[in-house]
């Protein structure tokens, strides 16, 4: 259930912060100006919060949350958990920091960027272009600081919020523009089913008073779910032209993301001609872990796509190097998603291809590919360092080594950033 309330509505209330990660800490800072009656709860027993006690959920924390008027949940806390449902059934308003923030803002100043993949790149390009066109802009959300972090300026012309499917359920006030980059399958452990994930992800477009929805027509699954889109739906079906060259983006899918950004500019009345956009695009720095070239060695190009945590971005990355000699590092935490399409694409790839399987899911992927073809070379490696070394030898003298795991990093790393840094270190050590 969505609650159309803002931060000011929490004045004097007893507020719980459920989850003390990045958003929980930002919420704590924001609450200092609103109420002094705040409790902090986290599932982890070793969670800490500067200047406050954090109580574990199963060590009295749930009881504390039951005593609250409002609970601000972190994105990692599924709204479909039994304890969360019980809290709401008991009269506790379950909200999110993003939803509280958007309630307090003029919707014409807000652009939410969502989608299974591509939202970080699209949001970053959009923010960079707006800044280059002279508008005071901040890119917030999953990409960096939460929009309610006190350090985010309050006098912006445009606030961009990279919005996850988790956060979408906390938003009750429609933003002026919603950009939807793609649709695939992800986060089934949180949403409980593919159908629920799709409905939750796209619900952001059909809130009361919905504005403009910019949707990526190149995404087949998104077109198939067009009936779930609301607002004034406008489809983007092209890729950015010459104006986008200063962005330095790799892959057709990223150029499609840049075109989505241009469509969003047009939606808020900020679009300029190609010359102005090319000038605004200058100085863009690609995001780490998102199909970013990180170095050359012995004629081999090394590309980091560590944020490819499911099949969709990995398929796009493979397509970006069509016709080139490619060694790809795949595999990671096995969460039981289907890899059939990826296996088929790698097995049938015409250019020379080496697939290096990483723990945990990589071994099974390699076995499946090997059973389909002998033209695609396969091997396994125990870690990224050894995988990079093997791949570099094979790719020489003019190939590409691509880390695009199609899986989360949790089997060997705390997050995708740590995995990305391990790859960069391995490349530097060659």
Average pLDDT value for residue range 113-138: 96
Residues 255-299 pLDDT 10s: 999 999 999 999 999 988 999 999 999 999 888 898 999 999 989
The reply to whether 322 and 184 lie within a common domain is: no
In this structure, the answer to whether residues 230 and 350 fall within a common structural domain is no
Mean pLDDT confidence for 364-385? 94
Specify whether 85 is located in the same domain as 40: yes
Residues 335, 273 share a domain: no
> Do both 271 and 380 map to the same domain?
no
Predicted local distance difference test score (pLDDT) of residue 196:
95
> What does the DSSP 8-state code read for residue 298?
T
Same domain, 336 and 215: no
Same domain, 251 and 333: no
Extract the tokens encoding 257: 């993301």
Domain assignment of residue 162, yes or no:
yes
Note the pTM of the prediction, 2 decimals.
0.86
Confidence of residue 203 (pLDDT cuts 50, 70, 90): very high
* Residues across the chain: 430
Answer yes or no: is pLDDT of 418 > 80: yes
Do 122 and 284 contact (CB within 8 A), yes or no?
no
Domain residues for the domain of 69 are: 7-95
* Residue 287 placed within a domain: no
**pLDDT score for 363:** 93
Distance of alpha carbon 326 from the chain centroid = 26
Q: What pLDDT is attached to residue 163?
A: 97
Please say which residue of 95, 120, 147 terminates a domain: 95
Please list, in sequence order, all residues whose beta carbon lies within 8 angstroms of the beta carbon of residue 266, skipping any fewer than 6 positions away.
Answer: none
CATH number for the domain harbouring residue 218: 3.40.1190.10
**C-alpha of 279 from chain center:** 27
Beta bridge partners of 327: 354, 401
Residue at which a domain ends, from 281, 314, 331: 281
Residue 312, both tokens: 């969709």
CB atoms within 10 A of CB 203: 17
pLDDT digits (tens, 9 = 90+) for 94-111: 999 999 999 999 999 999
Q: How many domains does the chain have?
A: 3
Same domain, 328 and 382: yes
Q: What is the pLDDT of residue 188?
A: 82
Rounded to an integer, what distance in angstroms lies between the CA atom of residue 149 and that of residue 88?
26
Which DSSP letter does residue 407 get? S
Pair type for strands 232-236 and 377-380? unpaired
3-state secondary structure of 419: helix
The string of DSSP codes covering 339-370 is -HHHHHHHHT-SS-EEEEE-TTTHHHHHHHHH
Predicted local confidence at residue 283, as pLDDT: 96
89 φ, ψ (degrees, to nearest 5): -65, -30
Which CATH number do you get for residue 322? 3.90.190.20
Q: Is 118 among the domain residues?
A: yes
Give residue 332's pLDDT band: very low, low, confident or very high (50, 70, 90).
very high
Looking at the fold, whether 58 and 115 belong to one and the same domain comes out as no
């Amino acid at each position: 259930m969505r609650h159309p309330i803002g931060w000011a509505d929490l004045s004097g209330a007893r507020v719980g912060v459920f989850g003390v990660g990045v958003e929980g800490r930002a919420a704590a800072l924001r609450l200092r100006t609103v109420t002094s009656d705040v409790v902090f709860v986290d599932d982890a027993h070793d969670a800490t919060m500067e200047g406050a006690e954090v109580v574990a959920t199963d060590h009295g924390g749930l009881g504390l949350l039951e005593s609250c008027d409002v609970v601000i949940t972190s994105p990692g806390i599924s709204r479909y958990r039994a304890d969360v449902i019980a809290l709401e059934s008991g009269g506790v308003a379950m909200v999110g920091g993003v939803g509280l923030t958007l309630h307090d803002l003029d919707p014409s100043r807000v652009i939410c960027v969502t989608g299974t993949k591509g939202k970080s790149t699209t949001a970053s390009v959009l923010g960079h272009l707006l800044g280059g066109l002279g508008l005071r802009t901040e890119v917030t959300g999953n990409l960096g600081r939460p929009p309610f972090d006190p350090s985010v300026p309050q006098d912006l012309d445009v606030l961009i919020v990279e919005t996850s499917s988790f956060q979408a359920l906390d938003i009750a006030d429609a933003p002026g523009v919603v950009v939807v980059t793609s649709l695939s399958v992800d986060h089934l452990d949180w949403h409980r089913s593919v159908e629920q994930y799709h409905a939750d992800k796209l619900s952001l477009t059909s809130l009361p008073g919905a504005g403009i929805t910019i949707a990526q027509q190149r995404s087949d699954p998104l077109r198939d779910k067009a009936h779930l889109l609301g607002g004034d739906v406008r489809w983007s079906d092209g890729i950015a032209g010459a104006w986008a060259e200063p962005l330095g983006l790799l892959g057709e899918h990223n150029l499609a993301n840049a075109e989505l950004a241009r469509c969003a500019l047009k939606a808020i009345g900020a679009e300029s001609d190609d010359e102005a956009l090319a000038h605004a695009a200058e100085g863009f720095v690609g995001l780490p872990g998102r199909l970013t070239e990180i170095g050359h060695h012995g004629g081999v190009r090394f590309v980091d796509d560590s944020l490819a945590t499911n099949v969709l971005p990995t398929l796009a990355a493979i397509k970006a190097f069509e016709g080139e000699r490619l060694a790809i590092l795949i595999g990671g935490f096995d969460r039981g998603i289907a890899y059939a399409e990826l296996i088929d694409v790698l097995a049938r790839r015409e250019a020379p291809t080496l697939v290096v399987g990483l723990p945990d899911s990589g071994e099974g992927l390699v076995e499946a590919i090997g059973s389909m073809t002998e033209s695609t070379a396969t091997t396994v490696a125990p870690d990224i360092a050894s995988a990079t070394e093997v791949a570099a030898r094979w790719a020489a003298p003019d190939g590409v080594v691509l880390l695009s795991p199609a899986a989360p990093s949790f089997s060997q790393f705390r997050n995708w950033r740590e995995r990305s840094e391990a790859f960069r270190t391995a490349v530097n050590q060659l």
